[in-house]
Structure 1
């Protein structure tokens, strides 16, 4: 049985032209991605993104615009579903109260998620794990030139 897995992500860019990246260890895998996650049944995209930012970053966000929706086939890295990812530009309502790291997978004890800022000029495909995020990195770099 095949099914669709709808995911929603936020591109949070600060005043220093840096984008927020989430480093995670889950399901036995290490990966880096933009903050966000899966849509729950009965939930809209923007409500899901706001929920994900509260769950992951304890942050209230405002969506400022659509950036990209997957336009190619991507199989999930975790199951047999086809992933469809929607990316929005977001801004924080209040300053983020997170402990930002400078190294990848620099987790605090017992917490398998950490956050880093990467300047968009220095951002590369190798900074993120998944195929759609890599496409978004390239689009993001093109949009600021």
Structure 2
């Protein structure tokens, strides 16, 4: 008997504007709150870059250019929501169309509180963002890699 181990491939984008602010998505699903970079699960038959463009359009209503690769998960990570293994791929992205979102200044400041899935967005100064502001280990590592690649590394804890 063959045992299948489900893999969940996810793709995320780090978007930094001209004011050196990075886009953060605060979300709540099924009672769990988390802060992360925009993105999500790859759909069958979809490439990483196309999946990231679709995710940004769905979540943020913005068209993006997918630029350089930042990080791919290189350790075992169990899903926060189900029994799958997460493989996350991170890219730097640049918005092509204007970023017209209702930005919040406080995490988890949701406008609508009906249903089971909520999302809000913040623009956070890169200099103010701490690793602990991000919920998932892969997002934290991707941020560290991004900062190193762009000579912005500091003692973020």
TM-score bracket, shorter-length normalisation: over 0.9
Q: TM-score, normalised by structure 2?
A: 0.87
For 1:25 and 1:56, locate their aligned partners in 2 and report how far apart those are by CA, in whole Å: 14
For 1:44 and 1:118, locate their aligned partners in 2 and report how far apart those are by CA, in whole Å: 29
Q: How many residues align?
A: 145
Q: Which runs of 5+ in 2 are unaligned?
A: 153-157
Matched, 1:57 2:64: no
For 1:27 and 1:133, locate their aligned partners in 2 and report how far apart those are by CA, in whole Å: 21
The answer on whether the counterparts of 1:120 and 1:140 sit within 8 Å (CA) in structure 2 is no
Shift of 1:128: 0.8
Shift of 1:2: 2.2
> What secondary structure sits across from 1:112 in the alignment?
strand
Comparing 132-141 with 70-79, greater Cα deviation is found at 132-141
Shift of 1:12: 0.3
Q: Which runs of 5+ in 1 are unaligned?
A: none
Matched, 1:128 2:134: yes
Shift of 1:141: 2.9
The answer on whether the counterparts of 1:18 and 1:120 sit within 8 Å (CA) in structure 2 is yes
Q: TM-score, normalised by structure 1?
A: 0.94
Mapping of residues 1-145 of structure 1, within 5 Å: 1-110=4-113, 112-143=118-149, 144-145=151-152
> Alpha-carbon deviations, 1:43-98, whole Å to 9, x = none?
11111101101110011111111111111111111111110000011000111110
